[in-house]
Every structure is written in structure tokens, then in C-alpha cells.
Amino acid sequence: MKHYEVEILDAKTREKLCFLDKVEPHATIAEIKNLFTKNHPQWYPARQSLRLDPKGKSLKDEDVLQKLPVGTTATLYFRDLGAQISWVTVFLTEYAGPLFIYLLFYFRVPFIYGHKYDFTSSRHNVVHLACLCHSFHYIKRLLETLFVHRFSHGTMPLRNIFKNCTYYWGFAAWMAYYINHPLYTPPTYGAQQIKLALAIFICQLGNFSIHMALRDLRPAGSKTRKIPYPTKNPFTWLFLLVSCPNYTYEVGSWIGFAIMTQCLPVALFSLVGFTQMTIWAKGKHRSYLKEFRDYPPLRMPIIPFLL
């Protein structure tokens, strides 16, 4: 059996960082990363990006050396991805923050609205309903992170958590300040508007249903990708028309929350979220089309027949 020699260079400076002798031809990129770490412990595998070209795409951990377009002496280029943090930790931090912050405003802790309002309660029922809906949403997200989601990538750059938390925590504080304000004005059309909004907010159940369907497509510990199809659950039938119905339902629930509270910060949060989720949905849709030749042609990324 012939063995490979693997030379790893810095993608920026072209400096030789490591030379691996007698590497098995069936070695994966993940195994090569582990060998590289033995020479450079400061760059643990999750920090490493190995590529065939200095400006090319990162190789996947499951890529096998002998199946790559390289000779028996392979040259790989290394980039440091920076300090990493697990996706589970990221999501728990992102979602626990808004839950806690919103409740601070709801219970009107001191130094928010003035001394005479400390620990007082709103006289509007919609404020209490909004707190229940907001709390339900983030408790659901926390539980999904722990028990439902399966991540194709184990980590993300540590620096991203500060950006993500600023977005989630900041918007939570902004909308909570106005919804729980002593001078808050309830919805213009009263109970009818609130009932309509609550009916739309049931999109949360659709979002959960899609997450469960996606989870069942990927066995634990696997990175297998399959085309998602509708199941017996009616909420999953949206797969007939869109590639990412979880985003569709997510946007729908926030629209419902905006109608319920009639609060501008909630509407802005919904708009920003929709913009970002549209970008993600288009990316996933393109990925599905590229990977699966028999991908259903009627599907759109996020909005049926439109977008």
C-alpha cells in the first residue's frame, strides 16, 4: 500500500507549518487535522481550515485523502478560524438572554420605569399574554437546542456570539421596554386583533413540527443529507411549496406577535429576521438544487410561489 506525504503551508505566508510522512491513503481530513494538532497544539481541529488552494473552499472533515485531486505528495493550505465555541453553547446563550431580559421589564424591576412602578403589574391583559408568548418562544428554542437540533458543524467562531447576542438581547430589551411600559397602549381593534394575532402565533407549532421532521432525517452522529418531504403532520405539508418552512413559520409567528402587541420594535425585529432568514433559505435552496437532481421543482426558498 502506497503512503502519502502531506505538506501543510500557511495560506497567507506560504510558510511550511508541518510535514506529515507515511499518511494512510484512506485518512480523512479530520484525521489529518488531528495529526497537525500534535505539531501545533494551539490550533485544535475545530480552529483549522484545510484547503487545496490558499483562497479555495475548506475541505470537509469526511473528505478522504486518496479521493482528492492530489499526488502522493499533497500540499494543503491552513487558515486559522480563530477561537471556537460549540453551537449548543451559542444557542443557549442567545436564547436565555432574551427570556431573562424580557422578564426584567415585565416584572418592572427597579431603575427601569421609575420608583413608583417598581414591581407593579400592567392593567392590560394583552401585556400578560405577550409575556407568555415571548417566554414560550424562547423556552421552546432552548429545549429544541438541547433535545431536538442536530448540528452539521460542531462549533462556530467565538467572536460571532457577541454579534448574535447583541442582536437578540438588544431587540428583546427594546420591545420589552415598550410593551411593558406603564403608558403602553393596547391594540387598536381590541380583542379581535389579539385573537387574530394569537391564531397566527400558532405558527410556533409549525416551526417545531418542521424541526422534528428535519431531525428525523439525520440519524444521531451522522451528516447525511436527504430531501425533506411532508409527513402525516399537517404542519409539514408546507414542504410541498417551500424548502425552509421552519423559517416561514418563524416569520409568521413574529408577525402574529407584532399584531398582538402593535409595537414598532417588534415589527422591525420581524423585518430584520425575515431578511436574514430569506438569505439563509435561499442558500439552503441552492444547496438542495445542487445536491439533488430530483429536487421538487415547485418549491421556493421561503414564501410559496414568490420567494
pLDDT digits (tens, 9 = 90+) for 58-93: 998 888 998 999 888 899 999 999 999 998 999 999
In terms of domains, do 216 and 264 share one? yes
- Amino acid, res. 224: T
**pLDDT tens, position by position, 267-301:** 999 999 999 999 999 999 999 999 999 999 999 99
Distance from C-alpha of 95 to C-alpha of 89, rounded to nearest angstrom = 10
Q: Decide if pLDDT at 223 tops 80.
A: no
In terms of domains, do 51 and 106 share one? no
pLDDT confidence of residue 225: 81
pLDDT confidence of residue 32: 94
pLDDT confidence of residue 222: 67
**pLDDT tens, position by position, 169-198:** 999 999 999 999 999 999 999 999 999 999
In terms of domains, do 126 and 233 share one? no
pTM of the model: 0.87
pLDDT confidence of residue 190: 95
The distance from CA 63 to its chain's CA centroid, rounded to whole angstroms, is 24
Contact 230, 243 (CB under 8 A): no
Distance from C-alpha of 239 to C-alpha of 231, rounded to nearest angstrom = 9
The distance from CA 91 to its chain's CA centroid, rounded to whole angstroms, is 8
Residue range of the domain that includes 102: 88-184
Q: Tell me which of 223 and 206 has the higher pLDDT.
A: 206
Distance from C-alpha of 285 to C-alpha of 274, rounded to nearest angstrom = 16
Angle between helices 125-147 and 87-106 (to 10 degrees): 170
Following DSSP, what letter does each residue of 167-215 receive, concatenated? HHHHHHHHHHHHHT-TTPPPPTTHHHHHHHHHHHHTHHHHHHHHHHHHH
Distances (CA, A) of 68 to 2, 72, 292: 15, 11, 22
Say which range, 48-57, 94-103, 220-229, has the weakest mean pLDDT: 220-229
- Strands 48-51 and 73-80 turn out to be antiparallel
- Examine the fold and report which residue of 184, 200, 219 is the final residue of a domain before the chain moves on: 184
Distance from C-alpha of 243 to C-alpha of 229, rounded to nearest angstrom = 9
In terms of domains, do 274 and 233 share one? yes
Indicate the number of domains in the chain. 3
Please state, for a pLDDT cut of 70, what percent of the chain lies above it.
Answer: 98
pLDDT confidence of residue 2: 76
pLDDT confidence of residue 151: 78
In terms of domains, do 290 and 302 share one? yes
In terms of domains, do 222 and 287 share one? yes
Say which range, 22-31, 151-160, 197-206, has the weakest mean pLDDT: 151-160
- Examine the fold and report which residue of 53, 82, 111 is the final residue of a domain before the chain moves on: 82
